[in-house]
Amino acid sequence: GENVEQHPSTLSVQEGDSAVIKCTYSDSASNYFPWYKQELGKRPQLIIDIRSNVGEKKDQRIAVTLNKTAKHFSLHITETQPEDSAVYFCAATNQAGTALIFGKGTTLSVSS
Amino acid sequence: DTAVSQTPKYLVTQMGNDKSIKCEQNLGHDTMYWYKQDSKKFLKIMFSYNNKELIINETVPNRFSPKSPDKAHLNLHINSLELGDSAVYFCASSLSAGTGVQPQHFGDGTRLSIL
């Protein structure tokens, strides 16, 4: 079945720096790649997503890039702020295209 | 208005008991999911229902039984609770996955603690 690897597991940056989180997936049929942010004790919230027919998508300080050939996608956060501190999860569709398989998460800490 | 609501928010109970968690969504979605998030924060799909029909059952012990009375509700009943069932259970919903997985909206979670 689909397997999603996410790196790094923890990431510490200074306020204003950029942060990059990378994910790889195993099933070449996967066609939808969302990113979720989960603050402590809260629900996962969708922050950005990308479909397989697009290589890059941007929303203000957040961008996602997708390389279908290499089967990897990345989240880029620019001008980080303390409120960006959270656990970030990448996900990809399963083989049947009916569910999401999540990476193990990256704990991002932004210090001021 | 909460889009995906779960009850209860916290559930503390003893090993061997039977308990239920309820989930309701008011987004007009027709696909609902249950996820388990363990102490290491791993989010794993358990079940998925589309228009009240089970479409995913991911090697979950048969002590876990989902029920969907209508497409706006998906409940989870757990029999003979074990220590390893302690986790946060998230309900989520999306539009039909028939044309590919759609963005999923999560509830606030139910934190289950087994004593």
Q: What is the DSSP track for A39-99?
A: -TTS-EEEEEEEETT-SEEEETTEEEEEETTTTEEEEEE-S--GGG-EEEEEEEE-TTSSS
pLDDT tens for A13-59 read 999 999 999 999 999 889 899 999 999 999 999 999 999 888 999 99
Contact B101 A43 (CB under 8 A): no
Distance of residue A18 Cα from the nearest chain B Cα, in angstroms: 24
Interface size between A and B, measured as CB pairs under 8 A: 57
Average pLDDT over residues B66-80: 95
Average pLDDT over residues B95-107: 81
pLDDT tens for B3-46 read 999 999 999 999 999 999 999 999 999 999 999 999 988 999 99
CB B111 within 8 A of CB B11: yes
pLDDT at residue number B97 = 62
First CA to last CA across chain B, in angstroms? 33
Give residue-wise pLDDT tens across range A58-87: 999 999 999 999 999 999 999 999 999 999
How many Å lie between the alpha carbon of A90 and the closest alpha carbon of chain B? 11
Q: How confident is the model at residue B1 (pLDDT cuts 50, 70, 90)?
A: low
Mean of pLDDT over chain B:
91
Give the nearest chain B residue to A44 (CA atoms): B106
Residue B93: closest C-alpha in chain A? A99
